[in-house]
Amino acid sequence: MGTAQRACGGPGGLCAVGTGLKAACPASTAGAGPGDGAQRRRPFKQLLQLAEIDKNARVHDTRHTAATLLLEQGVDIRMVQAVFGHSRLTTTKRYTHITETLAIEAAGRMGRALWDE
């Protein structure tokens, strides 16, 4: 992960730290690193309970979700790479997951490219 940018998840939502958007991040998580997980875990678990999400999710899982949602919204993977602060595209690819939505969209694009005028 690059030092210029990284994404964080927290009660204020997903934001890019170091890109001028960190105002959306809670101050307690804006500079948090991997060793600060316990400080983020408890409030995150409380948010899951409040949202009635019955899943044993981790704060880190929000990065995977965010990357996939960005792709589903049509954001180029290189932009996702920049937001997440990854120096290698292969790292970003590990964060994204192919969903049925993406697969259907890809098939539709291929069909239009082959058979539409």
Per-residue pLDDT tens over the stretch 26-36: 443 444 455 56
Helix, strand or coil, per DSSP, at residue 8: strand
**C-alpha to C-alpha distance for 27 and 82, rounded to whole angstroms:** 22
If one counts every other C-beta atom within 10 angstroms of the C-beta of residue 20, the result is: 8
Residue 1 lies in a domain: no
Q: Give the confidence band of 20 by pLDDT, cuts at 50, 70, 90.
A: very low
Q: Which residues contact 88 (CB under 8 A, 6 or more apart)?
A: none
Residue 90 lies in a domain: yes
Tens digit of each residue's pLDDT (9 = 90 or more) over 69-109: 998 888 999 999 999 999 999 999 888 888 888 888 889 98
Quote the domain boundaries for residue 38.
6-115
pTM score > 0.75 for this model? no
**C-alpha to C-alpha distance for 22 and 53, rounded to whole angstroms:** 26
Residue 46 lies in a domain: yes
Biggest CA-to-CA distance, the chain: 56
Number of domains present in the structure of the chain:
1
